[in-house]
């Protein structure tokens, strides 16, 4: 996930919107996965860093895209978090390249 802004912290609703999921799912994953540890502001609202969002995106990839169970995703992250991160980054890069190629193809048609 690329961040084009200079924000340091994101609200739970911003994170949920990035992934097109409900806030409650983010809260659920926070309880289930140790690697999601948002800070809370003075009002008690969760504030997520870019690293938190990266971890949430990896969990999203495992659970929603790869169809792992929660326990399966936990195990996969425990056994090989680095490999999961690299694999996710490769897939993200390939999706971006594909999108660019589709744009180029559309421009060539016109």
Compare 27 and 78 and report the one with higher pLDDT.
27
Count of domains forming the chain: 1
The pLDDT score that the predictor gives to residue 2 is 55
Q: Would you say residue 2 lies in a domain?
A: no
pLDDT(79) > 60: yes
Instruction: Please report, rounded to a whole number, the percentage of residues in the chain having pLDDT higher than 90.
Output: 67
Across the chain, what does the average pLDDT equal?
90
Looking at residue 15, which CATH number applies to its domain?
1.10.1660.10
Q: Would you say residue 3 lies in a domain?
A: no
Compare 110 and 103 and report the one with higher pLDDT.
103
Q: Would you say residue 43 lies in a domain?
A: yes
Task: Give the C-alpha separation, 36 to 70, whole Å.
Answer: 14
Look at residue 75 and give its three-state secondary structure.
Answer: helix
Q: What is the CA radius of gyration of the chain?
A: 16
Phi, psi angle pair for 45, to nearest 5°: -80, 140
User: Which of 68, 28, 67 lies closest to 36, judged by CA?
Assistant: 28
- The domain of 19 spans 10-109
Task: Give the C-alpha separation, 58 to 82, whole Å.
Answer: 11
Summarised one tens digit per residue, pLDDT across range 88-98 is 788 888 888 99
pLDDT(1) > 90: no
Summarised one tens digit per residue, pLDDT across range 11-23 is 999 999 999 999 9
Sign, Cα dihedral of 104, 85, 2, 11 = positive
38 and 52 Cβ atoms separated by less than 8 Å? yes
Q: Would you say residue 4 lies in a domain?
A: no
């Amino acid at each position: 996930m690329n961040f084009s802004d200079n924000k340091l912290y994101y609200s739970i609703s911003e994170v949920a919107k990035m992934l097109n999921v409900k806030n409650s799912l983010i809260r659920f994953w926070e309880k289930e996965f140790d690697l999601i540890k948002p800070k809370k502001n003075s009002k008690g609202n969760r504030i997520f860093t870019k690293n938190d969002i990266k971890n949430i995106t990896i969990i999203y990839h495992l659970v929603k895209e790869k169809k792992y169970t929660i326990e399966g995703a936990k195990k996969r992250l425990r056994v090989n978090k680095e490999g999961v991160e690299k694999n996710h980054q490769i897939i993200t890069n390939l999706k971006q390249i594909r999108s660019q190629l589709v744009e180029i193809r559309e421009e060539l048609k016109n």
